[in-house]
Structure 1
Amino acid sequence: MKPRMVKVSAPGKVILSGEHAVVYGYPAILAAVDKRISIELDKAGKRVKPISLPKSGLLKYALKRTIGLTGINPGALRIKIDSRLPIGSGMGSSAALSVALVGAFYKLTRLPWDLKKINEIGYEIEKKQHGNPSGGDNTIATYGGFLWYRKEAENFKIFFPVKPKRRLGRIFLVNTGKPIETTGEMVSLVAERYKKNPEGVKKLLEAIANTTKSLLRYILEEEKSSLVGIFKENERYLEQLGVVSQKARKIIRMFERIGAGAKITGAGGKKDGSGMILIRHPDEEKIIKFAEDRNLDILSVRLGEEGVRVEKEI
């Protein structure tokens, strides 16, 4: 007997290292976090009824695309979202939404639970949102954990799961403000710099790639470096690349002065905010108090969390 209601969730993500360099064929490392989006599908509904959806347009498209790609129309549905992910923060909320919806659809219609196919449909939905996405966000939302990503060519991309040999504990996220620029504009900014100074920018991209490799060795416990040091080094290269605003730099320097490592995660921003920054410090309570004393919104996350999963089935 087919279930009448299912609830499926998928995680958000952070880019730990490799921003911008990944566009030029260098590696990036992504991590699934413990902030998730849940989708509840209920066949008892008389019509499709999105409830409190900041991304309702994407949701409707995602459902239509899933029906088209699977060839199964389950009829009228009621859809409910519960999101613990900040929207528009660069944490992969649209991919988590898409993957959770596809997973819920698969469970409700009794299709075999096939992560590869769920990921593929999630990627097709992401194209609507981002045009030419890397595929990293939907892949990490599907499989979870840590992901090594590298684009060898436009139609040949490597996604490789990284199995950590150490517990990375928690990191913190602080919002420096929503960037005025889009991701595409920030990518174009770096491209313009590359045209004007190819040797200089190439050296920066290679340096970012080296910090990504250091992070990989750290995760695999092959290197005794610290995440604080890796974040600091990575951030300096991103600042030299011109993708971190003065506003964000001031916040990052504040945290560095108390012994933290901090860096942007994502495309960044130049004129105002640069989006979320990642923060690592050996004393978690100190970081929380420091942020709260300065009225900064701080979010604590665990890294390497589970991918798409079934929460409830009735």
Structure 2
Amino acid sequence: MITVSAPGKVHLIGEHAVVYGEPAIIAAIGKRTFVTLEKSPSFVYKDGRFDEATEFSLEEAFEKAGEAKKLWQECFEKKDFSQLFAFVKKDYYGNYRKAAVGLLAKKFGIDHGLKIHIHSEIPAGSGLGSSASLAVALTKGLAEFAGKRLSLEEIYNTAFELEHFIHGTPSGGDHSPPCYGGLIWFQRSQPRNIIKSLKQEIPYQLENFVLVYTKEPEKNTGELVQAVRNLPEDYRNPRIKEIGLMTEEMKGALIRKDFFKVKELMNKTQRILAELGVSVPEIDEIHEAVKAIGGAAKLSGAGGGGVMICYHEDNEKLNETIRSLGYEPLETDLGVEGVRVE
């Protein structure tokens, strides 16, 4: 039996601007997905977040992996992934489970069944990278079980293949923190995105950060990105550029451990994201309340609800403020270790 875990992720700064080629800083968070594997006659896949276990044969896993790859190619050519998304979500993501296991079993030469048990501390659909964390942990777990010692880059590239089944054309940003850990400098670029670990420059974990789940967004990430894209260029572009410059400043502030500057940059970024139309009253309320006690708070990810990231030197004061508004704070360190064998 073997257990592997990988952390979730949170955008510290740079969301939305990253779509336009500006940098973002993404952090591995102290909430993890655990994958436990043991040999079995068939494959039995159980995710603690869902009631149903999925049982299937190796042949069925290979078949679903082939179907998913073929469907991805067809959807890519049509520039419409709705058919792929419907396929992977079927039967509580049963097809995704089979396709993911099939792809990994083929890659690593696994010729027998496995009991696969998933336990995740990361709420699904929270914007904290639950699917990316799972893809990285599954990849590492099945590789270890097959006696393969993959480099982090190999784990990253393989997990990226799995993420294509869930997200169509993922950026690669979400599963870099679960893989490498720490803080990640991410920038879209051609022919390859820039993904750089900041461990050498910022070797410490960031403490006193709190995550708050506000509400389920009414619009998905794609719709929110499109809403920003629809803004007049002369209104949108200077704000996008400003977020990019503040991401550069944030890196410098973290290197210097200047958390007064970190707070200033978080609050400024939230103001600009609100101007871009991706904030909501719940986020604005928390932002103003945390700012009033000398802290910082901003949305993280696409916005429209979802997760906020908050910071104050006095964790107790911060938690009290958040609870007074009817929300439950989730305390976590940022910049934690990436994928590992437990």
Across the aligned residues of Structure 1 and Structure 2, the Cα RMSD in angstroms comes to 1.7
Deviates more, 1:125-134 or 1:72-81: 72-81
| Contact 2:213–2:307 (CA under 8 A) maintained in structure 1 | yes
Alpha-carbon distance in structure 1 between the residues aligned to 2:108 and 2:340: 23
Name the structure 2 match of 1:92: 129
Aligned AA (1:14)? V
- Counterpart of 1:75 (choices 104, 112, 136) is 112
Alpha-carbon distance in structure 1 between the residues aligned to 2:44 and 2:205: 42
Count of matched residue pairs: 298
SS at the partner of 1:229? helix
1:294 paired with 2:328, answer no
Alpha-carbon distance in structure 1 between the residues aligned to 2:204 and 2:136: 28
- Counterpart of 1:131 (choices 168, 189, 200) is 168
- Provide, for residues 242-266 of structure 1, a one-character-per-residue CA deviation record: whole Å limited to 9, x for no partner: 1111232122212222222100000
**Compared CA separation, residues 240 and 48, structure 1 to 2 (3 A):** same
Alpha-carbon distance in structure 1 between the residues aligned to 2:189 and 2:113: 43
Aligned AA (1:292)? R
| Contact 1:89–1:275 (CA under 8 A) maintained in structure 2 | yes
1:183 paired with 2:221, answer yes
**Compared CA separation, residues 107 and 186, structure 1 to 2 (3 A):** same
Alpha-carbon distance in structure 2 between the residues aligned to 1:33 and 1:49: 25
Alpha-carbon distance in structure 2 between the residues aligned to 1:49 and 1:100: 14
State the shift of 1:100 in Å: 0.3
| Contact 2:3–2:141 (CA under 8 A) maintained in structure 1 | yes
Gaps of 5+ in 1: none
Deviates more, 1:289-298 or 1:140-149: 289-298
State the shift of 1:181 in Å: 0.5
- Counterpart of 1:18 (choices 5, 8, 14) is 14
Deviates more, 1:34-43 or 1:293-302: 293-302
| Contact 1:166–1:220 (CA under 8 A) maintained in structure 2 | no
Percent identity reads: 35
Alpha-carbon distance in structure 1 between the residues aligned to 2:164 and 2:204: 35
SS at the partner of 1:88? coil
Aligned pairs for 1:1-314 (under 5 A) are 5-44=1-40, 46-54=42-50, 56-57=93-94, 58-68=96-106, 70=107, 72-153=109-190, 155-163=191-199, 164=202, 168-193=206-231, 197-221=232-256, 225-269=260-304, 274-311=305-342
Alpha-carbon distance in structure 2 between the residues aligned to 1:230 and 1:28: 13
State the shift of 1:167 in Å: 5.2
Kindly report structure 1 stretches of 4+ aligned residues shifted beyond 4 Å: 222-225
Aligned AA (1:106)? A
**Compared CA separation, residues 301 and 243, structure 1 to 2 (3 A):** same
Deviates more, 1:93-102 or 1:219-228: 219-228
Aligned AA (1:302)? D
Alpha-carbon distance in structure 1 between the residues aligned to 2:265 and 2:275: 16
Aligned AA (2:293)? I
Gaps of 5+ in 2: 51-91
